[in-house]
Amino acid sequence: MPGTLSVSAVQCRTTTTSSRVSAVVDGAEVWFESDDVALRPSVEAFVAACLIPSAARGSRLDATGAIDAAFAESLPKVLDITHRWWGYDRVLPRVDTTRVDPDPQRPAAGRTALCFGGGVDSFYTLLASGRRVDDLVFVHGFDMPLTDVARAAAVEQNLREIAGVLGARAIVMRTNLRTVPAFRVASWDRTHGGALAAIGHLLADESATMLISASFYHGGWRPWGSSWQLDPLWSGNGLTIEHVGGELSRGDKLRVLRDEPLVRRFLRVCWANRPDQLNCSRCEKCIRNQVLLAGLGVLEHFRTFEPPATLAARIGQVPRIRDPLVFERYERALAMGLRPDVAAAVRALLARSKRALWRDRARRAGEYAAAVARRILRLRLESSR
């Protein structure tokens, strides 16, 4: 019998300055809060956030409180997908359901929100997808730790300035979701789509549509927690979730956005999370975006990166590219035309990355062969007794 991952009844506390929604998940309090809007005490939010982590550990999700029947009908489809992609058990959650009829007259029905991190994908959705966006939503505690207060404040300031320019509303939320043990059982690569869907459900009294920007071009897609297959399945209880932007690669999106003043001023792509900088300009993700912008001939106009004069030296400091799917982005930049020293640095980076990749594959093949040999030997010893 599978174990249980329990979600308590959802609690809501609203004051004159903030709104906080929480539930106890497997013995630990999970909370979301915002000073900008009142959050909906949504059971669906906690189910969306916790379903894939519960499947990852082979547990049954047991949630207190009724959820929308239309939302519940999609949960087995989510589990079918995660079983195909990652081999997780199809353990159906234990939930009560109720039939919710969306009210087309409610104030939120015509509003659309966008989960906005300031990267290429979210800027493309905001500025070039053709979708109207009413609310820009940044979540402190997702890709930026709660302890990183200074950097979050800088991101919030940028968010509010971008929203002001476009006539949108800025919404900042905070959450401890990623710190609780029950959620950390699976990687963020696999669980972040459900977490983003949770934000949509908490904001469903404010915005009836939540846009999630595609991380991958459909033609180069791989299993990922936020995808065109998964994201719409989290819809329900008056909320529609849409996956946007998979028709273009990130390089093509940069080509579309390269002359946008807001992108040049505020683009944020960094993984390093250095408190004093939006982009460190030196991690591999920063480097790959700078190389693409250099190939497009516009890097010097992007104020959130270090000057392009030292780009070749920064490329030389990157030990390797770990994701082979990223090789194509560097090769595309080479085809665009790069300064000779930058092109030489990129070729050297690709060469050492490919050598490291082959070494990794050879090591894993050797480890697998050794494990098989040990198992065969053990079986032979057991059969001879």
Over residues 54-81, mean pLDDT? 96
Distances (CA, A) of 42 to 46, 65, 162: 7, 9, 29
Query: What are the pLDDT digits (tens) for 321-343?
Result: 998 888 988 999 999 999 999 99
How much is the pLDDT for 77?
A: 97
List the structure tokens of 299.
């890097």
How much is the pLDDT for 276?
A: 64
Distance CA 363, CA 377 (A): 21
Distance CA 321, CA 363 (A): 18
Query: What are the pLDDT digits (tens) for 137-158?
Result: 999 999 999 998 988 998 999 9
pLDDT at 369 over 90: no
Please tell me which residue, 25 or 271, carries the higher pLDDT value.
Answer: 25
Distance CA 148, CA 235 (A): 31
How much is the pLDDT for 271?
A: 75
List the structure tokens of 270.
């960094």
On average, the pLDDT of the chain sits at 93
pLDDT at 55 over 70: yes
Query: What are the pLDDT digits (tens) for 238-281?
Result: 999 999 999 998 889 999 999 999 999 999 998 776 656 789 99
How much is the pLDDT for 301?
A: 96
Closest to 50 measured CA to CA, from 39, 38, 41, 59: 59
Distance CA 27, CA 55 (A): 18
Q: What is the pTM of this model?
A: 0.90
Please tell me which residue, 34 or 378, carries the higher pLDDT value.
Answer: 34
How much is the pLDDT for 366?
A: 87
